[in-house]
Structure 1
């Protein structure tokens, strides 16, 4: 089974971002972080996905979602 790419769009001092990353780590799920403060490209990607706040979680082949959503994150395990 091929592992899908998971991207967590984040920013510094974002509690929901930190909760999301910790939750994924605790479940042993690998992911890539794109910081919208460090990368204008990442910020534009978030806007293109239709969101104005982070965290935004983008999973290859699935609809992106935002916020700390354990119910949706559990579906990745």
Structure 2
């Protein structure tokens, strides 16, 4: 599983909380700063059609899913999927 969080580095409560929830459960993720990475900003706004940070994109077994904003139920779902993947290894 690969998790990427497209976020703002400062002043974004949802970004900080999303990272904290994954970190608290030991789930690794890649952090991408959309304020300094123009390609990443274009990807989330043009391709994924989001206007709110954070944007979480995760890939599992070739399938990609994503959402925008602080979404604890979705975060918990991904954490559970990550735990399931580790158990099956």
TM over 0.5: yes
**Deviant stretches of 4+, over 4 Å:** none
Give the structure with the larger helix fraction.
Answer: 2
Aligned to 1:6: 3
Say yes or no: does 1:16 pair with 2:29.
no
Root-mean-square deviation (Å) = 1.0
TM-score, normalised with respect to structure 2: 0.78
| 1:63 to partner: Cα distance | 2.2
What is the number of residues matched between the two proteins? 74
Instruction: Please list every run of 5 or more consecutive structure 1 residues that lacks an aligned counterpart in the other structure.
Output: none
Give the structure with the larger strand fraction.
Answer: 2
| 1:32 to partner: Cα distance | 0.4
TM-score, normalised with respect to structure 1: 0.89
